[in-house]
Amino acid sequence: MNVFTLYLDATGPEMTETVEDEEEEEEEEEKEEEEEDISTPSPDEELSTDNEVEPIKPTASPSPPTSKKKEPVQEEIKSKKEPVNVVFIGHVDAGKSTIGGHIMYLTGQVDKRTLEKYEREAKEKNRESWYLSWALDTNQEERDKGKTVEVGRASFETDKKHFTMLDAPGHKSFVPNMIGGAAQADLAVLVISARKGEFETGFERGGQTREHTMLAKTAGVKHLVVLVNKMDDQTVNWSEERFEECKEKLLPFMRKVGFHTKKDLHFIPVSGITGANLKVPFTECPWYKGPPFIQFIDDLPSLRRNSDGPLRMPVMDKFKDMGTILLGKLESGKIEKGANLIIMPNKNAVEVLQIWVDDCESDTAFTGENVKLKVEDVLPGFVVCEPTNLCHTCKVFDAQIVILEHKSIICPGYSAVLHIHNAVEEVQIQTFIGLIDKKTGKRSKGHPRFIKQDQIAIARLEAQELFCLESFNDFPQMGRFTLRDEGKTIAIGKVLKLL
């Protein structure tokens, strides 16, 4: 058992596991991999219509029994392809945008002429090798510097699924943008550069490989596909040995973060530049026996979603275009055109004037889809709800936090920036209520005066403003968070109780 699983999933007996010993960890993992994983709530479990999400209590008037609505919603959904959000994460320059751009070309989202145009323009800027990334890096700054800043977004379809690609920035200055992307993802794709020296830099402390993997896990991503990229590079040359070396170095860390190395992880050697192993198997790499990337993600089991649950759509962004347009992922429930909804925490009543699902106008949007709604004025981090079943809001809450990285001790009064679903709030630690012993999982008696790196504590936090949240047990997507300070992720946490 590892510190993240222990911490994030600590709801019962698994809290008693130890975290220190590597060997023990491996043994335990073997065991866990044989058994059904009950410690990590998978997206399926989290979104199951049957139990986990149901406990959210209506805060306005009671909502009608969900079982009545079940049949029609499931029927309507059957006519649509399953939506899956895939976030591309990894160290700067690993090749995330290049792979994303190549996938758009291979799936017919960008045509050859547009790519040739990008190639000519990129050449003029002496950025020839970057032309594929231009399909996703659409603004001038990104193209001039060759670095993604905003999470790029594009979609493509396979026979079974409708994929939305979220191309996260790898540079450490843009981690908050990356968190926004990861918060919406069902599946994460970690891109690693196998090029000599680049893998090593990306994986060192301070490299974004570790932080991104950890943040994706915190955001609730269950499956991680690792694309070992730049296999065509002359320092790699499709070497199986280099592929295995990268994999072996990553695995102990992945385990620590809480991924089951056999069930949740899959490694694929690829080249974003040549497109090898992205859509069709690459014959010059006979030692890789698995499917190419797109086939692999198409064949992953379906995510069972909470389509019949209460309507929850954290607002990711907004812009004005003859009215206010809200962007976000529908985490549960469905929205129909003309519906009268409430935006929390301000309790603004709004009417849905128009709906787009991945840029196509639609009369209805379902759970898991990326939605644009035209309504009146609201802010990112607000949550769209039904009038009969509002989400919770508060300023003061108790949470379990684990300090990942902080040089000095942390005392009450300490302030940090809380990232929870799409909300970003300044919070202050009021008191520490207890410490959790990592070995026994037991709570210590008495209030600690301070906590330090690697400790797990229960703390009372206070935000400056009222914001939307749920307890982790009721609704994990809106109950897990990250605390950041001075541009670094210092802690991850889960909400225990709203006060």
Contact set with Mg ion (CB under 5 A): 96-97, 148
Amino acid residing at 28:
E
Does residue 374 interact with ligand GTP by CB under 6 A?
no
How many whole angstroms separate alpha carbon 447 and alpha carbon 306? Answer: 39
Does residue 170 interact with ligand GTP by CB under 6 A?
yes
Question: Quick one: which of 164, 184, 213, 229 contacts ligand GTP (CB under 6 A)?
Answer: 229
For every residue of 252-315, DSSP letters joined together read HHHHHHT--TTTTEEEEE--TTT-TTTSS--TT-TT--S--HHHHHHHSPPPP--TTS--BEEE
**Would you call 415 helix, strand, or coil by DSSP?**
strand
Question: Quick one: which of 4, 53, 66, 96 contacts ligand GTP (CB under 6 A)?
Answer: 96
Tokens of 444: 């210590």
| Least distance to Mg ion, CB of residue 343, Å | 32
**Would you call 346 helix, strand, or coil by DSSP?**
coil
How many whole angstroms separate alpha carbon 306 and alpha carbon 47? Answer: 5
Does residue 213 interact with ligand GTP by CB under 6 A?
no
Cα angle for residues 411, 217, 3 (degrees, 5° grid): 55
Does residue 380 interact with ligand GTP by CB under 6 A?
no
**Residues with Cβ within 8 Å of residue 244, at least 6 apart in sequence:** none
Helix (H) or strand (E) holding 246: helix 240-257
Does residue 233 interact with ligand GTP by CB under 6 A?
yes
Phi, psi of 199 (to 5 degrees): -60, -45
Smaller CB distance to ligand GTP: residue 180 or 345? 180
Q: Which residues, in sequence order, are bridge partners of residue 468?
A: 393
Smaller CB distance to Mg ion: residue 165 or 231? 165
CB distance 250 to 226 below 8 Å: yes
Question: Quick one: which of 15, 94, 335, 491 contacts ligand GTP (CB under 6 A)?
Answer: 94
Amino acid residing at 259:
F
Tokens of 482: 């990250």
Smaller CB distance to ligand GTP: residue 133 or 489? 133
In the chain, count of helices (H) and strands (E)?
12, 22
Does residue 95 interact with ligand GTP by CB under 6 A?
yes
Tokens of 390: 């509002």
| Least distance to ligand GTP, CB of residue 155, Å | 18
Does residue 181 interact with ligand GTP by CB under 6 A?
no
How many whole angstroms separate alpha carbon 226 and alpha carbon 170? Answer: 15
Smaller CB distance to ligand GTP: residue 34 or 241? 241
**Would you call 26 helix, strand, or coil by DSSP?**
helix
Does residue 92 interact with ligand GTP by CB under 6 A?
yes
**Residues with Cβ within 8 Å of residue 497, at least 6 apart in sequence:** 397, 398, 471
| Least distance to Mg ion, CB of residue 177, Å | 11
Smaller CB distance to ligand GTP: residue 40 or 209? 209
Tell me how crowded residue 431 is: count the other CB atoms within 10 A of its CB: 15
Question: Quick one: which of 171, 172, 263, 337 contacts ligand GTP (CB under 6 A)?
Answer: 171
- Residue 264 partner contact from ligand GTP, Mg ion, none using kind-dependent CB cut-offs of 5 to 8 Å: none
Smaller CB distance to Mg ion: residue 273 or 365? 273
Residues in the chain: 499
When CB distances to ligand GTP are compared, the closest residue is 170
Binding mask 184-203 for ligand GTP (x = CB under 6 A): -------x------------
- Closest by CA position to 191, among listed 322, 101, 323: 101
Smaller CB distance to ligand GTP: residue 170 or 345? 170
| Least distance to ligand GTP, CB of residue 218, Å | 19
| Least distance to ligand GTP, CB of residue 151, Å | 10
Q: Which residues, in sequence order, are bridge partners of residue 157?
A: 162
Q: How far apart are the first and last CA of the chain?
A: 31
Which residues from 69-88 bind ligand GTP, rule CB under 6 A? none
Backbone dihedral region for residue 258 (phi beyond 0: left; psi -120 to 50: alpha; all else: beta)? left
Question: Quick one: which of 49, 148, 277, 471 contacts ligand GTP (CB under 6 A)?
Answer: 148
Question: Quick one: which of 17, 32, 93, 150 contacts ligand GTP (CB under 6 A)?
Answer: 93
Smaller CB distance to ligand GTP: residue 192 or 483? 192
- Residue 273 partner contact from Mg ion, ligand GTP, none using kind-dependent CB cut-offs of 5 to 8 Å: ligand GTP
Which residues from 383-422 bind ligand GTP, rule CB under 6 A? none
| Least distance to ligand GTP, CB of residue 161, Å | 23
Which residues from 117-136 bind ligand GTP, rule CB under 6 A? 129-130, 133
- Residue 92 partner contact from ligand GTP, Mg ion, none using kind-dependent CB cut-offs of 5 to 8 Å: ligand GTP
Which residues from 245-274 bind ligand GTP, rule CB under 6 A? 271-273
Tokens of 355: 């709906």
Binding site residues, ligand GTP, CB under 6 A: 92-98, 129-130, 133, 146-148, 169-171, 191, 229-230, 232-233, 271-273
